[in-house]
Amino acid sequence: MKINFALLLPLAVLSIGALVSPARANPVGDRATVAPTIVSQRSERTVQNTPARRVVGQPMKDGNYIGLGGSNNGAVVNGKYALSNNFSVRPGVTTSLTNDDGDRGVAVLAPVTYDFNGNGNRRVQPFVGAGAGVTTGDGTNLEVVATAGTDVRLGNRYVLNGSVNYLPLDGQRVDVAAGLGYRF
């Protein structure tokens, strides 16, 4: 009797594959498998799902906003970009209408803050932080900023925000700002 090994080899591979398939290795179906299963099987047991981790760079849902307001130095455009449940970047641009010399000054600040109350589900969320920035006016200067403030949620889409920014390198300047932000 003559055996054709070319036909016998694929049959052996399929047989071995059926014996060690993920469907046989995971008959309950409640664990992730490394390969697709041929036959789907269901389990009557419930599996506890762990909360999904946030991918870095992906915005936190409803934790971000952009807003307009005013300060003791002029108009303010500010915002919040949540990096995690407790850390955020709070960029802001303050423009003074005129300073003592008649020049218009602009301060661009980007402090990183620690947000108390975690994930932003609370109505009042205080924060503190520090960062860097640039001021213009008489000249362009690199600045250091320390900040503290509070966000107060007004419904689902709006937030009232207030902050105090201390710039020690700019003649120990203190900016007090308040505004209304749109959450996204």
**CA gap 36, 39 in Å, rounded:** 9
* Residue 95, in any domain of the structure: yes
- Answer yes or no: do 164 and 98 share one domain: yes
Owning domain of residue 33: 1-40
* Residue 60, in any domain of the structure: no
- Cβ atoms of 77 and 93 closer than 8 Å: yes
**Placement of tokens 């620690």 in the chain:** 114
Residue 71: give its domain's CATH number. Answer: 2.40.160.20
Per-residue pLDDT of the chain (184 residues; tens, 9 = 90+): 455 544 455 555 555 555 444 545 555 555 555 555 555 555 566 555 555 455 555 555 667 999 999 999 889 999 999 998 889 999 999 988 665 666 678 889 999 999 997 655 688 999 999 999 998 877 888 999 999 999 999 988 999 999 999 999 878 889 999 999 999 8
- Answer yes or no: do 28 and 117 share one domain: no
* Residue 45, in any domain of the structure: no
Q: Report which secondary-structure segment, H or E, holds 95.
A: strand 92-95
- Answer yes or no: do 119 and 72 share one domain: yes
- Cβ burial, residue 135 (10 Å; 0-12/13-18/19+): buried
DSSP SS3 for 154: strand
Nearby residues of 81 by Cβ (< 8 Å), 6 or more positions away: 59, 64, 88, 89, 90, 91
- Answer yes or no: do 77 and 154 share one domain: yes
For residue range 82-136, what is the model confidence (pLDDT) as tens digits? Answer: 998 889 999 999 988 665 666 678 889 999 999 997 655 688 999 999 999 998 8
